Amino acid sequence: MKHYNYQDTFKKLYDKSVELYRSGNTDKSTWFDADELEFIAQNGWRVQDFFDYGEDQAQGGEPSYEIAQSIEQVRRDYFLHMQKGVSSETRVEASSLTPKPEKLEGIPWLPRIIEKAKGKVKGELCDEIMYCCGGDRNFLQTHDIHPGEFLRLVWANMDDTPAIIDFVKKRSPQC
């Protein structure tokens, strides 16, 4: 795997995903050839990630390539440096997430997005869960936090939820 220019290949796959979805091809199993699938796996990503970005970009114009890349940069770094290139066998199922309206210290969606961010960083989200879905984007925009920044925050404070809460409260114009 080439590390120096991996972002160029990521962009090609992101753009390809958006175009395939826009063209009406929603069968993600047909989107990538063997080399592309290997590249995706070597970086700790999922085909589902590209499908989700393609779908959301085609339908609503978000997330941008830049946001998607920043999210997947964090995932890639964790995968290569913390997991030593070995994928987790654990899966976070949608039914296990805190319900959407639940609050943490009065902040709606916060417990859910923390769980999703931990799952994203570790590569443990099932295909039904997208980190940076519409609900996540609303939360992050409301509290003025970049999606990649939130992932880094969660990674740095994986076992320190109070630190995550404190950051959100300090950053947010809503708190």
Q: How confident is the model at residue 174 (pLDDT cuts 50, 70, 90)?
A: confident
**What percentage of the chain reaches a pLDDT higher than 90?**
97
The tokens for 7 are 């972002």
Q: What is the mean pLDDT of the chain?
A: 97
The answer for residues whose C-beta is within 8 angstroms of residue 73's C-beta and 6 or more apart is 7, 148
3-state secondary structure of 108: strand
The answer for residues whose C-beta is within 8 angstroms of residue 1's C-beta and 6 or more apart is 39, 42, 43
The tokens for 115 are 């769980």
Q: Is the pTM for the entire model greater than 0.75?
A: yes
At 53-81, the pLDDT tens digits run: 999 999 999 999 999 999 999 999 999 99
Confidence check: pLDDT of 139 > 80: yes
**What percentage of the chain reaches a pLDDT higher than 70?**
100
